[in-house]
Amino acid sequence: MIEMVEVAQVSYLKARPEETKKKLGQYFTNKEISNYMASMIQPIKASVVRILDAGSGAGILTISASLRCLSLGNKHVHAVLYEIDVDAIPQLEHNMLQLKKIFHNNKAEFTFEIKSVDFVLSRPDKTEKPFHLSSINPPYFKYNSKTSDYANVTEDLYKGNPNIYASFMAIVSSCLEPNGQMIAIVPRSFTNGLYFQGFRKFLNKTLSLERVHIFKSRNQVFKDVPVLQENIICSYKKRRQKSSVEIVTSFGCKDLKNPKLKKYPSEMIIDTSTQYELIRVPETEQDAEIIKIVEGWPSSFLENGYFISTGPVVEHRARQYISDAIKNINNVPLFRMHNIKTFKVEWTGDHKKDARFFLLPGYEKHVTDSKIYLFLKRFSSKDESRRLVAGVYSPKGKNTELIAIENHLNYIGLYKGKLHLNEAYGLSVLFNSTLLDRYFRCVSGNTQVNATEIRLLKLPSREVIHEAGKIYSKLKNIDQKAIDKIVEQYLLM
């Protein structure tokens, strides 16, 4: 049955206009993922198991979950399915009737209700009887926090409006009875970042994170649609956080039957030591060791007196100031992502992407004093081997008191005083190291480097960072092995 449902939903999606799929955030689940999510369901002691499907599509997740319950000995399953796409309802109803027959043939009973209403706006947690189980693949899209109907609908649960999938997860959580289980395949973005802070606090307060499954490949989970988000499967139970969390990895869908599983202390995975409550996900045991090393450093980014800011130049809002042509008026270099190399910041004016920022009236809010900074790329492509790429900017020989920094870059300096060149090089050694890059991947599933995550970093002392920079400045040839050796010798002490 699952195979037929998968074929039908693939055909359905292909026939749908791209604009409609984007508006609804539709990414249907394949049979491998659906059955794997169902395998996480733990035995439920109830005369009638109540399943909630929030955004059911063709109902593949309910089918897998119900058959799993049947295999565990539950003889009566009742599913409540929400689906806003009216065109999907006939196929959904047909699939539920087929499932009903399967239960009947096994001397069991399957009953269901289909509700063609918006799951988030209807807030079933306020009207429905609690559920034992919910297996969900919610839609993913951002909405306008001022004008959207979804804005602040869940403000009684958590603060903020980060993404519609967070609204789905929060309401599902609220719908569960004590010890109820939620299994969700969602973007990893909720585990970090400022926008999801309120949502994370709600999850950590309400549920116990039992398992996180991560995929090494980004494009194997939703093969038929171009989803570039890093997706994870997470299993939660409505109870106090247990002492350990299972982290499971696979390359994609084909090796789901033989995933690699490792248990870690919950305090390593869920960081409640700060108000941001980041969720770390180590892919390997080596990553877990790296977390211990970095978290054991004696100082921190803020304690060292560093600041990190995003470049103030938003190009589409400042076009009148920017040109690649030389004009006979005052201008300063505009630094973009292509100007940042490992350890270096290169701007000659001769590169085809180099641009100048002209000091026309109103320029002041766009420019920055020309000082020693560490520039850090804010974005990396999904194919890049490194998440962190840092280069040192020095005003020496530049003959300019101001510079312009585009907002795809972060820049790091000191709140008080000026950053010494050797200290900047020491920071560059650290940010360009394999160790910190792997640590950052454990705390961030995004290709974006958020300033919030950098501010939360533990660091060695400034003296040690300065010493590492001195060693770097004496080297003639520098490669990744040399960088990592400096970190090993001077920053792991």
* Tens of pLDDT, residues 176-231: 999 999 999 999 999 988 889 999 999 999 999 999 999 876 555 544 544 456 88
Read off the amino acid at residue 215: F
**Residue 210: both structure tokens together:** 């039992």
**Residue 40: both structure tokens together:** 């996480």
Residue of 78, 208, 198 whose CA lies nearest to 133: 78
Phi and psi at 412, nearest 5°, equal -120, 135
pTM: 0.86
pLDDT of residue 259: 81
Phi and psi at 301, nearest 5°, equal -55, -50
Q: Which domains does the chain have, with CATH numbers?
A: 2-281 (3.40.50.12420), 306-491 (3.90.220)
Residue 89 has pLDDT above 60, yes or no: yes
pLDDT of residue 350: 87
Q: How many CA atoms lie within 13 A of 203 on its CB side?
A: 29
Burial class (CB in 10 A: 0-12, 13-18, 19+), 113: exposed
- Is residue 458 within 8 A of residue 439, CB to CB? The reply is no
Alpha-carbon distance of 10 to 3, in angstroms, equals 11
Q: Which tens digits make up the pLDDT trace of 437-483?
A: 999 989 887 778 888 889 999 999 999 999 999 999 988 778 899 99
- Is residue 376 within 8 A of residue 454, CB to CB? The reply is yes
CA dihedral sign of residues 134, 140, 145, 149: negative
pLDDT of residue 21: 44
Segment 140-150 shows an average pLDDT of 93
pLDDT of residue 489: 86
Alpha-carbon distance of 479 to 346, in angstroms, equals 18
Residue 26 has pLDDT above 80, yes or no: no
Q: Which tens digits make up the pLDDT trace of 223-262?
A: 454 445 688 999 999 999 999 999 999 877 777 877 889 9
The CA-based diameter of the chain, rounded to the nearest angstrom, is 87
Binned at pLDDT 50, 70 and 90, residue 11 comes out as low
Compute the mean pLDDT over every residue in the chain, rounded to the nearest whole number: 89
pLDDT of residue 381: 57
